[in-house]
Every structure is written in C-alpha cells, then in structure tokens.
Amino acid sequence: MCSEDYKTFIKEFVYLNKMEKKGNYARYFFIIVLIGLIILAFFLIKPFFMPILGAIVISYLFYPVYGALNKKIRYKALCAALMTIVILAIIVIPLIFLTNAFVGEAIGFYDRIRETGVLPAIEKVSGYISENMGITIEAKDIIEPVSKYVASSFTGFVKGLSSRLLALFVMILLIYYFLKDGDELVKSFRNLIPMTENRKNKLVKKFKEVIGATVFGTIVTGIIQGVVGGIGLWIFGFNAPLLGGIFMVILSILPIVGPPIVWFPIALWMMLVNGDWFNGLGLMIYGFLIVSTIDNIVRPQLISTKVKMHPALILVGVLGGLVMFGVLGIILGPMVLGILEVFIQFHKEENATKS
C-alpha cells in the first residue's frame, strides 16, 4: 500500500468513526428524550389514572350494546353520544336517588335524636358498655371524637368535590371516544405488543374472561348479599326488609360503600332511638359476620369457575385491588393476576421449546 492509499484509508476511517459517534449521540439523545417524555406523560396522566381505567372498563362492558346500536344507526359519533348519555344516566341517577334517600333518612334520624335528646341516647350506649363490659365511658368521650370525625369528613368531601367532578367529566368524555374509536384503538394497541398473534389472542381472551367473570360475580354476589341482608332485617324486626334488601343489592353491585350503609344505621336506630338493644345488636352482629363477609366467599368462587383460577388467588386479587385501585380494583386486581398467569405460561412454553 502506497503512502497516498494509506492517507486515504486513514481519512475514510476517521470519517466513518465520526459518523458512527454522531449516530450514537443521536441514538442516546433520542433515548434520553423518550424516557423524559414518558416520565412527563406519566405525571400528566397520574391524576386521571382511575378515570382512565374506569372509562376503559365501562366502555368494554357497554361496547356490545354500542355495536348493536351502530348496526341500526350508522353514525359512530351519534351512537357513542347516545350510549354515553345512557351510561351517565345509569351511573348518576342511582347515585342521586340513593343519596337523596339516605340524606332523607339521616335527617329523620337526626330529628328523632333531637326530639329524644342526643345526650340520653349516648348515655344509653355508655351505660350499656359500662354495665356489660366494665369500661367507664362518659358521653363527652363519645361526642367529641365523633363530631370531629364528621366535621373532618365533611370538609374533606367538600374540598375534593371539584376534583371528583373533574374526574367524572374526564371519564365520561373518554367513554365517548373509547366507544367511537374503540376498534382503531384496540388495533393500534395490539400492534404495539411485540408478540405473536397467537399470544396476543391469548392475552385478549384472558382480558375478556376476567372482566366478564368479575361483572357476573359482582352482580350475583350483590343479589345474594341483598337477599341475605333483607332476611336479616326481617328476622330482627325491621318494618321494611324488602326495601332495605333492594338498597343492599344496588350498593353491593355498584359498589360505593356496600351493604353496611343500610344495615348499620338501622341497627343504631334500633338501639339508640327505639331502645331495642336485642334486635339492634343482633342485626349488627348478623351484618358484620354474615352480610359483609359473604361476598369474600361467594365472589371468588363465582369468578374462579369462569376464569379457571384458584378462588384464593381471586380473593387476594379482589382485596388487593380494592386497596390499590379502589372500587375498580374488584376488576383490575383479578385482571392483573390473570395476565400474570398468562405470562408465566408463555415463559414455561419458551423453556419447554429450548429444552
């Protein structure tokens, strides 16, 4: 190799080396910007994480109805708007009805307590505890913490009302778009998953199984809780057990607080206002031991029969989901464990093919 060829080779080598470095810098820059944007997007979405998940679940549940309506009305935007209005009515109207009913009951309870006197009622409780448990409690020891708790709860509710309304608005708006553009969104999401079509289909199948089974289990469990709760109200002498049972069914299915919001005030009314300690305490024990625990037995069994997962795993998923995600955790908890089970199966299949 002559000196001119050597110089040309050196120049080309240096040039290629510079280009490679520039390519690496560009690649590193792209990765850093991408990570930064992902982190920023996470913090932007974080306040609306639950409304987004709620919109996804609700849209999926109502999508078959939307599809049937879209066959008759060809305009997707109009169909999505109609379904969103229906969903809003299904969610909001029961909440308004239940809120008005329980506010009316609370006002009646307050008026009755005011007529009889709140101190005598509380003195009955403290006297009963002192006589039967040997614990001395004065009325002020009950009034002060209860009043502080009620005041702080009310203040917190009022402060968080605007954020709740904003979350509801975001969820309803997303439901509209998820219904309208659901097919395209699902296709785009499937294309992003770096898996074979067979594995994608297994994930989608598990997703559908868990949601369908959880909704089925929640509805049936709510009906069972309402029936069992209504029977308890009848046994312990409440004069409207059918109405109370219906309220328990609705609250169990939604679920907002659950059946205790029905049977607990009734039991307190019996004890504090009517002075019926036998039936009041009986209803409270029945509510705690039977009505409020039966869902932890029935729901996992119902879900496990449809998704072929162990009831204990479903129970952990439901309870853990409630702690982590709130109400939506009833669906999201088992779904996370179900998808984890699918990925474990994928891992086993890969190991089997390697061996």
Residue 125 sits in the same domain as residue 223: no
Q: Is 335 inside a domain boundary?
A: yes
Q: Is 111 inside a domain boundary?
A: yes
DSSP, residue by residue, 85-105: HHHHHHHHHHHHHHHHHHHHH
The b/e string for 304-340 (b: 16+ C-beta within 10 A; e otherwise) is beebebeeebbbebbebbbeebeebbbbbbbbbbbee
Residue 185 sits in the same domain as residue 326: no
Q: Which of 128, 160, 192 is the last residue of a domain?
A: 192
Tens-place pLDDT, residues 57-105: 888 888 888 888 888 888 888 898 999 998 888 776 666 665 555 555 5
Residue 139 predicted with pLDDT over 50: no
Q: Which of 157, 192, 227 is the last residue of a domain?
A: 192
Structural tokens at position 203: 């994930």
Evaluated on CA atoms 247, 249, 252, 258, the torsion sign reads positive
Q: Is 44 inside a domain boundary?
A: no
Across 27-43, average pLDDT: 81
Residue 95 sits in the same domain as residue 212: no
Residue 113 sits in the same domain as residue 169: yes
Q: How many angstroms from the chain centroid is the CA of residue 137?
A: 39
Per the structure, the count of domains in the chain is 2
Q: Is 298 inside a domain boundary?
A: yes
Residue 162 sits in the same domain as residue 303: no
Residue 213 sits in the same domain as residue 171: no
Q: Is 232 inside a domain boundary?
A: yes
Residue 163 sits in the same domain as residue 214: no
What pTM was estimated for this model as a whole?
Answer: 0.65
Q: Is 3 inside a domain boundary?
A: no
Across 298-324, average pLDDT: 83
Q: Is 318 inside a domain boundary?
A: yes
Residue 204 sits in the same domain as residue 316: yes
Range of the domain at 98: 49-192
Residue 67 sits in the same domain as residue 98: yes
* pLDDT above 90: percentage of residues in the chain: 2
Residue 160 sits in the same domain as residue 212: no
Q: Which of 192, 207, 235 is the last residue of a domain?
A: 192
In the block, residue with structure tokens 């080779």? 9
Q: Which among 113, 110, 132 is positioned nearest to 275, based on CA atoms? A: 113
Contact of 268 with 124, CB cutoff 8 Å: no
Mean pLDDT, the chain, whole residue set: 75
Residue 320 sits in the same domain as residue 175: no
Q: Is 238 inside a domain boundary?
A: yes
Tens-place pLDDT, residues 233-279: 899 888 888 888 888 887 777 655 678 878 888 888 887 777 778 88
Contact of 263 with 283, CB cutoff 8 Å: yes
Residue 320 predicted with pLDDT over 80: yes
Tens-place pLDDT, residues 182-215: 888 878 877 877 778 888 888 888 888 888 888 8
The conformation of residue 196, written as its DSSP 8-state character, comes to -
Residue 63 sits in the same domain as residue 103: yes
